[in-house]
Chains A and B, each alone.
Chain A
Amino acid sequence: MSSARRRLVLWLGLSVAVAAALYVVARVVDWPDWAEPIARYILEVGLPATLRVSAVAVVGSCLLGIALGTALTIDFAPSRALIRGYVEVFRGLPILVTVFMVYFGLPAISETLKFEALTATSIALILWGSAQVAEATRGAVQSIPHEQHEAASALGFGWVGRHGFVILPQALRRLLPPLVGLLVNIIQNSTLAQAIGGVEVLQAAKSQTERLTFFPPAGIGEIHAFEIFAGVMVLFFVISFPLTRLAAYLEKRLV
C-alpha cells in the first residue's frame, strides 16, 4: 500500500470513527429540551433538501460540463467562442448573482420560467458547475496524446465514437480529482438557497434559531445561535472532510 493510500485510509477511518463517536455522544448526552426537535428538523427536512439539490447539481454539471468541454476542443471558431463566453460568464459571476438571475430574473422574462427556491438553486449551481467542468474537461481531453485520436480514427470511429469510446474514458481519469472537488463545493454552495428562502440545512437552522428567540409558546425567549450554527458546521464538516481527503489523494495518485 502506497503512503498516499495509507494516509487516505487513515483519514477516512478517522472520519468514520469521529462520525460514529458524534452519533454515540448525541445519543448519550442529556440534551436541553429545545435541542431535539431542532436537530430533527435540520436532519430530517434540511439535510435531504441539501443532498437533493447537490445531487441534481452535480449530475447536471457533469453531464453538461463534459459535453461543453469536449465540444470546446472542436476547431470551429463560432461554437468555441460561444462556449468560451458561457464558461467565462458563469465562472466570473458570484454564484449568488447567478442564483438571483434564475430565481428573480427568469420569471421576469417569462412566467413559465418560475422555479421554486431549491430548484432555482440547483439550476444556478448547474450553470456554475458546468462552466467549471467544461474548463477542466477541455484540459483533460487536450492532454490525451494525438496518437490516440489517430488510432481511433484508423479503427473507423467517427468523431462521436472516437470521443465517447476512446478519448473521454481516458480523460475521465484526469477529471476525477476536480470532480470530487466540485462535489464538495456544490454541497457547500447549496446553502445559497438560504438567500432566497429555500429550506435546506442552513435555512432550517436559521429559522429555528429565530423561533427560539420568540416568547413562549412559540419559542423559549433564548438565543442559541452558537450551538445551532456550530452543529451545522459540524454536519457540513463531517460530509466534506472525507471528500476533500479523497480529492487530495486522487490528485496525488495521478501525478
Chain B
Amino acid sequence: MLLAVTYDLWAFVSENWRELLDGLVNTLKVSAIAIAGSFVIGLVLGAARAHRVPVVSQLTAVYVEIVRNTPILVQIFMIFYALPQFGILLNQFTVAWVSVMIWGGAFNSENFRAGFEAVPYRYREAGYALGFSPRATFFNVTLPIGGRISLPSSINTYISVLKNTSLMYVIGYAELTTTAINIAALTLETLEALTVLAVVYLALVWALSAGIRKLETKLALPESR
C-alpha cells in the first residue's frame, strides 16, 4: 500500500466525512449544553454576587477564583480520573459538557456580575419608586440593562467554551479534534486532518463573532447607539 505522501484534502474529506461529521455534531452538542448551562450558572451566580447575597456570594467568589486560577485540563482530569475514587463514574460525554460548563459558568458569573453592577443605582431606585418589588426590579430593570452590558463579554466566554471542547481529546471523547487526529494517526494524512480542523473551528468561531457583532448593535442600549 502506498502511504499518503501527497496532500489530497478532497480524498481525505470524501473518505472520512461521516466520522468527521459525527465529531462535529458531538462538538456542537457538548458546546450547546455547556453554553446553556454556563448561561444559567452565570446569570444566577452573577446576580447573587452583584446583589451581595450572603454565603452564596462568597462561595461564588471562591468557585470563580478556583476555576480561573487552575488550568482547565487539571479540572477535566479531576472530574474524569479523581471522581471515580469517590464512586462517581461519569462517561466521557458527561465529563465533556460538565467540565466546560463549570469552566464557562465561572467566567460567565463574572461577566454578569460586572454587567449588573454597571447598572446605575438610580435606575433601581426608580424601579422601587414605581412600586416594584426587589425581584420585579431585578427582572424589569437590572436584568434587561445589565444583561445587555454583559453580552459581549459573555459571548466571548461562549466562544471559549466552544474552543475548549477540543480539550476533550485528552479523555478520548470523540468530538471533532479527537476524531480528526485519530483518523490522521491511522491514515497518516496529518496535514489534511489539521486543515479540516482549522477550517471548521475558524468557520465556527468567526461566524459566532460576526453574529455577535450584529446582535450587539441590535441589542445596544439606546444611549450608546
Residues of chain A whose beta carbon lies under 8 Å from any beta carbon of chain B: 88-89, 92-97, 100-101, 104-105, 108-109, 184, 188-189, 191-192, 194-195, 202, 206, 209, 223-226, 229-230, 232-233, 236-237, 240-241, 244
Q: 4 closest Cβ contacts across the A-B interface?
A: A226-B82, A240-B69, A94-B166, A188-B71
B85: chain A residues at CB < 8 Å are 223-226
In Å, the complex CA distance between A191 and B169 comes to 13
B144: chain A residues at CB < 8 Å are none
Which residue of B69, B81, B184, B201 is within 8 Å of A93 (Cβ)?
B201
Determine how close the nearest CB of chain B comes to the CB of A245; give it in whole angstroms.
Answer: 10
CB contacts under 8 Å to A, within B123-172, are 163-164, 166-167, 169-170
Can you list 13 A-B pairs, Cβ within 8 angstroms, ordered by A?
Answer: A89-B202, A92-B201, A94-B177, A96-B167, A97-B166, A100-B177, A202-B77, A225-B81, A225-B82, A226-B83, A233-B74, A237-B70, A240-B69
> Is B219 part of the binding interface, using a Cβ–Cβ cutoff of 8 Å?
no
Of B14-22, B37-45, B189-197, which stretch is located at the interface?
Answer: B189-197
Residues B191 and A105 in contact, CB atoms below 8 Å apart: yes
> Is B216 part of the binding interface, using a Cβ–Cβ cutoff of 8 Å?
no
> Is B72 part of the binding interface, using a Cβ–Cβ cutoff of 8 Å?
yes
Main secondary structure on B side of the interface with A: helix
Residues A241 and B177 in contact, CB atoms below 8 Å apart: no
Residues B65 and A96 in contact, CB atoms below 8 Å apart: no
Residues A100 and B197 in contact, CB atoms below 8 Å apart: yes
Residues of chain B whose beta carbon lies under 8 Å from any beta carbon of chain A: 65-66, 68-75, 77-78, 81-86, 163-164, 166-167, 169-170, 177, 181, 184, 190-191, 194, 197-198, 201-202, 205-206
Closest chain B residue, CB of each to CB of A109: B191
Residues A236 and B78 in contact, CB atoms below 8 Å apart: no
B190: chain A residues at CB < 8 Å are 104-105, 108
In Å, the complex CA distance between A237 and B67 comes to 9
In Å, the complex CA distance between A93 and B164 comes to 10
Residues A236 and B71 in contact, CB atoms below 8 Å apart: yes
Determine how close the nearest CB of chain A comes to the CB of B43; give it in whole angstroms.
Answer: 23
Kindly name the residue among B66, B69, B75, B177 whose own CB sees the greatest number of chain A CB atoms within 10 A. Answer: B69
Contacts A94-B163, A230-B82 hold; do A202 and B202 have CB atoms under 8 A apart?
no
In Å, the complex CA distance between A237 and B78 comes to 15
In Å, the complex CA distance between A244 and B78 comes to 22
Kindly name the residue among B68, B77, B177 whose own CB sees the greatest number of chain A CB atoms within 10 A. Answer: B77
Q: A97-B177, A226-B83 are in contact. List 18 more A-B contacts (CB 8 A).
A: A96-B169, A100-B177, A104-B184, A104-B194, A105-B190, A108-B190, A188-B71, A189-B71, A191-B74, A223-B84, A225-B77, A229-B77, A233-B70, A237-B69, A240-B70, A241-B65, A244-B65, A244-B68
